[in-house]
Structure 1
């Protein structure tokens, strides 16, 4: 299996509040007719365990018609799918949108040419969604 880059995630700084960024991210995903599978509010989960965590929410989403292409090539890709984007507030107050590059996922699983093309489409999608959610 090929070596992974030290930081296989891409990160975009948002110019909006955490709440605005999260709402805009979800809207950008839904507007593209992608399926939202789950949203996990890690800060709320921390609160329920009597712990504190800065705002941190993950959205899991995808398009089964595209994601299945990766799974058909190697079903272990399901360990990295559906796509996930993490919105969180740093200790400096920055709001970030972070996600693992789908091309890195394809490389990690040694996928073939067609699946890598699908991963490249996913990469462009995530870049566009993050940019839309992070700007005024």
Structure 2
């Protein structure tokens, strides 16, 4: 579940195995999910987290069981498993709108970047939707 949270003081990156390969999860000191990446590696994660959250250190550590269980549940067919994790995002207002629109897509349905751009009221921002999606 998305929550409002204060800026993190410390971030921990953990690796979790999945059917898609290695997933890196980034949690703050309160255990709030701050990022998730599909095997891009620590240098890229450090760069991204420094841009989103300047200041906090980034350490490596083990993922809490609830995170591994949520990811495992999702890949075992429980589409709501990830919604049980608290997460906080750091994005612009536009990015937040795009992310909300992405979460509103029904399971099994698809939407183009143009569809999302229209939905968020910015029909000419197709490329920006693609960047936010990335």
Question: Normalising by structure 1, what TM-score?
Answer: 0.30
More helix by share: 1
Question: Normalising by structure 2, what TM-score?
Answer: 0.30
Q: Greater RCO between the two (CA within 8 Å, min separation 6)?
A: 1
More strand by share: 1
